[in-house]
C-alpha cells in the first residue's frame, strides 16, 4: 500500500539495461500506486523507452526486477500482461488490416468472444473516437489516428495498469486535449505511466513526475515540487537544469 492507502500496482527495483559497454538504464527504482499518473520524462536517449519496454516485458533487463500487480514481468509474464495495457513507441500494428479488423484481432488474442468482445470493441472505439475510420486499412491513416488505434488496443481489456509511450505523439491540439481528458477520466482506477518529452503534458495530467537522464533517475516529485526547484518556477527550466547536471 502507498502512503494514502492505495495499492501499489507497479514496482520497479534496480532496473538496469546494458548494451555491451553502454548502460542505457542504470539502477532505476520507483513504485506507482492506483490513482497516480506518473510522467516519465527525459531527453532523447535518456532511457525512457528502454525502461518502458522492460516494464512491459518486451525487453529483458540486465539486472533488477519489474512487477505489475505483483506479477514479475519476466518470471510471470503472461499474468503480468493480462493486467497491462501497453502503448509502445510507434505503436506497431498490422498495416494491411482495417482498424476494425485489427482491434477485433487484439480482442480475440485477449480471449474475448461473442457479446463480451463486441462490448469491449465498441467501448474502446468510443473512448478513442475511431468510429469514422473503422473500415480503413491502418496503413492509410494519419500518424495521429494510428496513435489512437494503438491506444484503443491498450484499453480493450480495461487493464488496471497503463504504460503509454508518447501517447499524444502526432495528435493535433484538439486530439491531444481529448487524449489527456481520457487519461484524467481513467486515472482514479488505474496506475498510469506516461513516457513523454512534452512538458505541458506533465502539467496537464500528471500527479507525479520522474526525470531520467543518462539512464538514471535525477528527480521524483509532484509537478509543483519540481517547479519550486528553479527561481523561474517553470518546469522546462527545471528539466533543462537537471538533465544538464546529469550529462
As a whole-number percent, the residues of the chain with pLDDT over 90 amount to 67
pLDDT of 3 over the 60 cut: no
pLDDT of residue 162: 96
Q: Determine, yes or no, domain membership for 233.
A: yes
Q: What is the pLDDT of residue 234?
A: 85
> CA angle at residue 160 from 155 to 161, to 5 degrees?
80
Residues 64 and 101 in one domain: no
- What's the whole-model pTM score? 0.91
Kindly tell me if the per-residue pLDDT of 2 is higher than 80: no
The answer to the question of residue 3 being in a domain is no
How many CA atoms within 13 Å lie on the side-chain side of 162? 30
**DSSP H helices in the chain:** 48-55, 77-82, 99-109, 114-128, 143-155, 173-186, 199-205, 223-227, 235-246
Q: Can you give the CATH number for the domain in which 18 is found?
A: 3.40.50.300
Do 67 and 163 lie in one domain? The reply is: yes
Task: Tell me the pLDDT band of 179, cut-offs 50, 70 and 90.
Answer: confident
pLDDT computed for residue 188 by the predictor: 94
Task: Report long-range pairs for 223-232 (Cβ below 8 Å, ≥24 apart).
Answer: 223/39
Specify if 172 maps to a domain. Answer: yes
- Give tens-digit pLDDT for 107-154: 999 999 999 999 999 999 999 999 999 999 999 998 888 989 999 999
Please check whether residues 163 and 79 belong to one and the same domain: yes
Last residue of a domain, one of 143, 158, 173: 158
How do residues 34-78 score in pLDDT, each as one tens digit? 999 999 998 888 899 899 999 999 999 999 999 999 999 999 999
Question: Which residue is it, cell 514496482?
Answer: 11
Q: Of 113, 136, 158, which one is at a domain's C-terminal end?
A: 158
pLDDT exceeds 70 at position 247: no
Query: Which residues are paired to 28 by β-bridges?
Result: 15
Domain of residue 109, residue span = 93-158
Give the pLDDT confidence of 6-27 residue by residue, as tens digits.
899 999 999 999 999 999 999 9
pLDDT confidence bin for 207, thresholds 50/70/90: very high
Using an 8 Å Cβ cutoff, are 72 and 66 in contact? Answer: yes
How does the average pLDDT of the chain come out, rounded? 91
Amino acid at each position: 500500500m502507498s502512503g494514502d492507502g492505495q495499492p501499489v500496482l507497479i514496482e520497479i527495483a534496480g532496473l538496469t539495461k546494458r548494451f555491451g559497454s553502454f548502460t542505457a538504464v542504470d539502477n532505476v527504482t520507483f513504485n506507482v500506486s492506483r490513482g497516480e499518473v506518473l510522467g516519465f520524462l527525459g531527453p532523447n536517449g535518456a532511457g525512457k523507452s528502454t525502461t518502458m519496454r522492460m516494464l512491459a516485458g518486451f525487453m529483458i533487463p540486465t539486472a533488477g526486477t519489474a512487477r505489475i500487480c505483483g506479477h514479475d514481468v519476466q518470471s510471470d509474464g503472461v499474468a503480468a500482461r493480462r493486467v497491462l495495457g501497453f502503448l509502445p513507441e510507434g505503436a506497431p500494428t498490422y498495416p494491411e488490416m482495417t482498424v476494425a479488423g485489427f482491434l477485433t484481432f487484439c480482442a480475440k488474442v485477449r480471449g474475448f468472444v461473442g457479446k463480451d468482445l463486441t462490448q469491449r470493441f465498441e467501448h474502446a472505439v468510443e473512448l478513442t473516437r475511431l468510429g469514422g475510420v473503422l473500415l480503413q486499412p491502418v496503413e492509410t491513416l494519419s500518424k495521429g489516428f494510428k496513435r489512437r488505434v494503438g491506444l484503443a488496443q491498450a484499453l480493450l481489456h480495461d487493464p488496471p495498469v497503463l504504460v503509454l509511450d508518447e501517447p499524444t505523439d502526432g495528435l493535433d491540439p484538439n486530439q491531444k486535449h481529448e487524449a489527456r481528458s481520457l487519461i484524467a477520466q481513467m486515472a482514479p482506477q488505474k496506475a498510469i505511466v506516461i513516457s513523454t518529452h512534452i512538458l505541458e503534458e506533465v502539467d496537464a495530467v500528471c500527479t507525479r513526475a520522474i526525470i531520467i537522464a543518462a539512464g538514471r533517475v535525477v528527480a521524483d516529485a509532484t509537478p509543483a515540487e519540481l517547479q519550486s526547484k528553479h527561481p523561474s518556477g517553470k518546469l522546462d527550466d527545471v528539466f533543462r537544469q537537471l538533465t544538464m547536471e546529469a550529462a
